[in-house]
Structure 1
Amino acid sequence: MLGTDFVYASSYVRSQEGKLLSSEQLRSMTESKNIDDICKVLQDAGYGSEGNALTAANYQEVLKEAEASFFAEVKELSKDSKALNIFCYPADYHNLKVLLKAESLGVDRDELLMESGTISASEMAKSVKERSTMNLTENMASALAEAVDVHARTNDPQMIDFVCDKYCFADIIEAAEASKNSFVKGYVSLWIDTVNLKTFARVKKMGQPWNYFENVFIPGGTVDLQVFLGSYEDDFKQATEKFQAYNIAKAVSEGGEQIDNSGDFTLLEKICDNLLVEYSREAKTVTFGLEPLVSYLVARQNEVKAIRIVLAGKLAKMSPELIRERLRETYE
């Protein structure tokens, strides 16, 4: 599709960007002593409805519904451009993970399922239960078969995550390539680099051998597998130099330093998320096209994550300072 095909859609999401929560609003929420006041601000910002007002008790449900609504709205605006499936496939694979783990434990965790994927949660549940691949992409079918097999052999639920993530990004890469849009392809490439870095950090912390990481590494990013493997025996301070040429260098140096010093992954994950927001801001220079729609969804995802951080922090009685430390950059 040409950029001119998105004239109305681009104009519409630009108008919606003005309704995004500002960093100042989020900061004020962290300072608020009354969680009901925070919920009122969020209700005014469009989270929740008259029949289902956002509260401290139901905020997870309301945010999940809001995310699904944002995705549906932008998909419709994009005339169902397959490129936007890059944001929908993670929900599909999240559902696949939830269903397989619940099945292995003999429990029902349907409340954790998401409706923002390319396949409804009920269809995915049926596919898993019946081991049917009729409604699945080729990669989803492979993920289902491999995750079941690997979990049966290892009894390690984390392997379900790793297998599903690998195939999820295979679907995402296919959608990005099909878009023939350099901005979308660049975003996906950076996204994969951040996922690989977070996996690299966690696998090292678990004390797993290098070949374990080799098996869960996701191809398609700018950072080659050998760069990670060449840093496997180093602490992050030593590894920093090897990542200097890449966009994730700051996450390695600053986030890695926190991991070396305290074992805390919070800063690394925050910087990785911020890198994606910073990249998405490049779309502000594009008048119309697929880019504004992609950046708007990134902004909305980031906003929902910020709201979860604030409300979860308030419910856990965290200090405003600690909550702010966890907040990501906003799109503004």
Structure 2
Amino acid sequence: MALFDFNITQFSEDEKYASAVANVRALERSLLNGHKLNRMAEREDWRGVLDELRSTDYFETLIKVDSPASLKQALTETILKRHRTIYDLSIEQKFVKAILLRNDLNNLKTYLKIKLSASKREAKYSDLGIIDFQNFITAAEQNKLLPDSLKVIYAKVNSDYQQYQKLYRLEMLIEKFFLENIKNVFDESRILYLKKFITFRIDLANLLSTLRLKEWNPGDKIEWDLFPEDGTLDKMFFESVLKNNIETTIDKLQFTAYGDSLKNGLEHYKSTGELWLVEKLADDFLSEFCKLTEFTSFGVEPLIAYLWISIQEMKNIHTILTAKYIGLPEASIKSRLRIGYE
């Protein structure tokens, strides 16, 4: 069990969110439980998955679905509806904006990777950004049309690529910007739960980045300018991860909040070189932290937690559908599914 160093008496208990939290509780009851996700994983193809979804609260958006493409569009509409609902329920919308900036940053990353590498492949932009993806290229070409938050990272990434000519730096700088922007917004709120949540995210993101570096370029040094700052794990820890064997990392993590939660994933990585289980367990760690919000009826915390769990649900649906397309075995699908509130 994860040790979060957080007591439920430390929630903000902001009573102006009482009505919003009541609405979120209703939304939570509509989330897919583990039994339903397993049923979806057991179905033969995407049509079977669709049949399972039609017996849930997804029903209305799936009425006209008759192809994988229309299913994807229907799911996108569901995500957008959820995002709008949480945004509208938020009295302080800056928290939700900081999280949903991810979609615009992903679009910016796609645009810049194609532009800077002179690639001729067709760009696939997300429908979930603040800027409509059909207008995104125009906005990116005319930097002044981008929101202020994107102008900063747009200029930084352009400059960095001119100096280093490395696309992986582009991706990591955008991820760093995303996490540090959330941290700034959450820290300013002085809400302990939010500060804990983003600190955990930064630690886990940095650990995964270090493990990827260890796998791809074991002799390299860590480029610290690509790592978001102010997590609880320090530079010495990540240097140890890079230089030492996985057993050492597992031992060191036992003295942190993440030890028991990530152990199985790290052992799987040691034996297979695959990181997917560490990634899943990192997400599950954050989901377990989100589940603590069940114990408060006030404050913005349940809204942020629902947003995270909702994103994990969409990730699960995407995992199942992708697995059906490529023929992944049922057991492999189930082992990759993130946990929910149940």
The two structures have a TM-score, normalised by structure 2, of 0.88
- Residue 142 (structure 1) shift: 3.2
1:90 to partner: Cα distance: 1.4
Q: RCO (CA 8 Å, sep 6+): is it higher in 1 or 2?
A: 2
The within-5 A match list for 1:166-315 is 166-207=176-217, 209=219, 211-250=221-260, 252-315=262-325
Task: Say if 2:82 is the partner of 1:70.
Answer: yes
Partner of 2:42: 31
C-alpha distance after superposition, 1:162-183 (max 9, x if no partner): 1111111221111112322111
| TM-aligned CA deviation for residue 79 of structure 1 | 3.0
Q: Which residue does 1:163 correspond to in 2? A: 173
Q: Does the CA contact (< 8 Å) of 2:100 and 2:129 recur in 1? A: yes
Quote the Cα distance in structure 2 between the aligned partners of 1:68 and 1:271: 26
- Distance in 2, matches of 1:17 and 1:55, equals 28
Equivalent residue letter for 1:298: W
Length, aligned pairs only: 329
Q: What is the CA-CA distance between 1:203 and the residue it aligns to? A: 1.0
Q: Does the 8 Å contact 1:54/1:62 carry over to 2?
A: no
Q: CA offset at residue 34 of structure 1?
A: 4.5
The residue matched to 2:255 in structure 1 has which SS? coil
Equivalent of 1:326 in 306, 325, 336: 336
Which residue is equivalent to 2:4?
Answer: none
1:111 aligned to 2:124? Answer: yes
**Counterparts in 2 of 1:58 and 1:69: CA distance versus 1, 3 Å:** same
From 85, 95, 98, the counterpart of 2:97: 85
8 A contact 2:13–2:298 mirrored in 1 = no
Describe the shift of the 1:125–1:57 C-alpha distance in structure 2 as closer, same or farther (beyond 3 A). closer
The match for 1:17 among 28, 43, 48 is 28
Provide the C-alpha distance between the structure 2 equivalents of 1:80 and 1:107, rounded to a whole number of angstroms.
41
**SS of equivalent residue, structure 2 residue 221:** helix
For 1:304 and 1:285, the matched residues in 2 are separated by: 24
The answer to whether the Cα contact below 8 Å between 1:23 and 1:329 also exists between their aligned partners in 2 is: yes
Deviation at 1:52, TM superposition (A): 4.7
Query: What's the counterpart of residue 41 of structure 1?
Result: 52
Instruction: Check the 8 A contact 1:39/1:54 in 2, yes or no.
Output: no
Contact 1:83 1:178 in 2 (8 A): no
Q: Return 5+ residue gaps in structure 1 as ranges.
A: none
8 Å Cα contact 2:38-2:334 kept in structure 1: yes
Q: Given the two structures, how large is their TM-score scaled by the length of structure 1?
A: 0.90
Identity across matched positions, percent: 21
C-alpha separation in 2, matches of 1:186 and 1:54: 43
CA contact 1:82–1:179 (8 Å) conserved in 2 = no
Query: Structure 1, residues 256-310: CA drift from partner, whole Å, max 9, x if none?
Result: 2222221111111111010010010010001122111111111111110111111
